Structure 1
Amino acid sequence: MGEVAVGSVVPSCHKSLLPPTGPQFGGGEWKGKLNPKWQCSVLIFGSKRQPLAIKNQIEKPATYSSSISTDIPLYESPVASFDQYLEDKPRVFKAIFPDKGRSQQLNEEEWRIQMLPIQFLFLTVWPVIDMRLRYKSKGIDYPPGVPCDITNVLELDIIRWKLEGLDDMLKPSHFTLGVKGALYPDRRGMKSRLKGQLQMSISFVLPPVLTLVPEDVRRDVAESVLNRLVENMKLKVNSSLLADYSEFKREKPKNLV
């Protein structure tokens, strides 16, 4: 922004708060005291010799979360258990994220995913996430909520992320995306069941251009976005993953021949 001529504005906040003087105001000294709460609430651009600095107010990050669980029948094969299926992490990942054009494998446990665009308020962003899949067994370092007597569990976790599609003015000064999930077979009852849990959370500070959006509107939109994402993940587990496991069971006897 350009500078404003000194003569066109009040050059000092302190001078603007001085009491008026002159015969029309009694001519005497003003005996009252200035209220210390009186402060300048606008930024006045003075000359370079007398700059005025105003401390910016730091907004606390807003955090929103959504969680979901799945519990459906699991029909296993004696020669192709679901434990064996979960050990094949690339196959499990492909079943959950079938679009090869939007994902790439980084190493044995990690994949990078270009997510579909997410609309939030007036913004459209393209999150890029790095997801890690870890196969765990014998109750060692299980995720919270998974019983220790479960034979095996596949843990999902987002370890890195970035937002694409935003210019500098619209980028939040703080943004955190968290996704944690677990998938496992539960054979403790009369019949085997496939169980899973997924929790997704976001934490951010809105850019200044969006700070006037009411908090209740922000919350409704954020929770709606998160709910759609976790519901989509659950749908893929309940359909794509089980369909691929059925194919895995058909393939296994052929491999044993």
Structure 2
Amino acid sequence: MRIQFTALQSVALSISQEIVPVEHYLRQPQRLIYALIEPERVEQRSASLFRFKLSPLKFLMLKIEPTVDLKVWTGADGVLRLQSMATQLKGLETFDTGFDLKLIGNLAPYRRGQKTELRGQADLMVQVDLPPSWVFMSRTLVQATGNALLKSVLTTMRQRLERQLLQDYENWVKSQSLESMTGRSTHGLREVALSS
């Protein structure tokens, strides 16, 4: 049985004081990744490609542990975008051929007088071939459970982003100020020290 689950999540964050324009901050995709996901779950594969392991998810009788490759980049329009490129299922390799996960998101600055608002949206879609033994299960129940699971994943990411991004932006601004005062680059240091 082929089935599709979907979820959508939006976020809006206000930045009242900008010593350094937030657009400069958004040109560093890795910062968004570490604001969205616990650093210990992320492996940077290239300048714009990151692999991360989701926390184990329970879906009806299954325990799912997806690993997702995410491309993150900032366009010429200043909008930071992310898109899933590949997915693997740990422990459920038999589902790999029938499992498709797509995550698309964006985060953009909007000026409102002296304030800037960061607005973003994430769309998550999963298509999967369920095993033949599930053919007698209620499709409505399976659909509702899957949609709720995806919504919980996006909600967790949104809540972490709301907690971490503004704090990380402030830390980054401080490091930029220190760098300009000392004339030394701090790029070799680990600036992203985020707590869960």
Contact 1:173 1:206 in 2 (8 A): no
Q: Deviations over 1:115-156 (max 9, x none)?
A: 111111100011011011011123xxxxxxxxxxxxx11101
Which one has more relative contact order, counting CA pairs under 8 Å at least 6 apart? 2
Q: Shift of residue 166 of structure 1?
A: 2.1
Q: Deviations over 1:191-214 (max 9, x none)?
A: 311110011011112011222211
1:164 has 2:90 as partner: yes
Q: Shift of residue 173 of structure 1?
A: 5.4
2:6 aligned residue (40, 65, 72)? 65
Amino acid at match of 1:73: S
Tell me: CA distance 1:110–1:214, structure 2 relative to 1, closer, same or farther (3 Å).
Answer: same
Q: CA–CA distance in 1 between the matches of 2:82 and 2:140?
A: 31
Q: CA–CA distance in 1 between the matches of 2:151 and 2:87?
A: 19
Partner of 1:215 in structure 2?
139
Contact 1:76 1:82 in 2 (8 A): no
* Higher percent of residues as helix: 2
TM-score by length of 2: 0.85
SS of 1:222 mapped into structure 2: helix
Q: CA–CA distance in 2 between the matches of 1:239 and 1:62?
A: 34
Partner of 1:137 in structure 2?
76
Partner of 1:231 in structure 2?
155
Q: Deviations over 1:8-58 (max 9, x none)?
A: xxxxxxxxxxxxxxxxxxxxxxxxxxxxxxxxxxxxxxxxxxxxxxxxxxx
Count of residue pairs brought into register by the alignment: 180
SS of 2:158 mapped into structure 1: helix
Partner of 1:84 in structure 2?
24
Higher-Rg member (1/2): 1
Q: Shift of residue 223 of structure 1?
A: 1.0
SS of 1:91 mapped into structure 2: helix
Tell me: CA distance 1:76–1:136, structure 2 relative to 1, closer, same or farther (3 Å).
Answer: farther
Amino acid at match of 2:166: L
Q: CA–CA distance in 2 between the matches of 1:70 and 1:182?
A: 10
Amino acid at match of 1:159: M
4+ residue runs over 6 A deviation: none
Partner of 1:195 in structure 2?
119
2:39 aligned residue (84, 99, 116)? 99
Contact 2:37 2:157 in 1 (8 A): no
* Higher percent of residues as strand: 2
